[in-house]
Amino acid sequence: MVNLLKLTPTYKSLYYYIVLIGAGGNGGYTVQRLTKMMSAFSEVSSFLMIADPDTVEQKNILRQPFISSDIGLKKSEVLAKRYGGTYGLKLGSYPESYVESVEQIEKLFSLTDYRHKRTQLIQKVLIGAVDNVRP
């Protein structure tokens, strides 16, 4: 694997802190593929935070990665539990509210304590997968 970021004697490796906004039609399938990749590249340290306050509805079952028993549950929590458990990954969820400001994005990048990673260069990654915009 080629690292595009230059590591120094202080930083021995990279730690990818990924925030995904949206867990519906786009985000749900992004979580599926991304967690599979995170599992395959287990030597790369990473954390995924899924942000979406929506709940699973009957209409979501046909076109999103949810099943009938998920109806009424928060999409971000369902996906974090399902794919974190499936692949043995650390995933977080933020079901509290829609992300509508830079301050909320900054908060999402601070919800997990990664300060102990002093020998790892923290690489923040933001993925927007919102498939409907509310006024």
What pLDDT, on a 0 to 100 scale, did the predictor assign at position 54?
A: 97
From the first residue on, what is the mean pLDDT of each consecutive set of 10 residues in the chain (135 residues)? 60 86 96 95 89 97 96 98 95 95 92 67 91 68
What pLDDT, on a 0 to 100 scale, did the predictor assign at position 14?
A: 81
What pLDDT, on a 0 to 100 scale, did the predictor assign at position 115?
A: 58
Q: Is the pTM of this model over 0.85?
A: yes
Between the alpha carbon of residue 64 and those of residues 21, 32, 71, 91, the distances in Å are: 15, 11, 12, 19
CATH tag for 13-128 (out of 1.10.540.10, 3.40.640.10, 3.40.50.720, 3.40.50.1820): 3.40.50.720
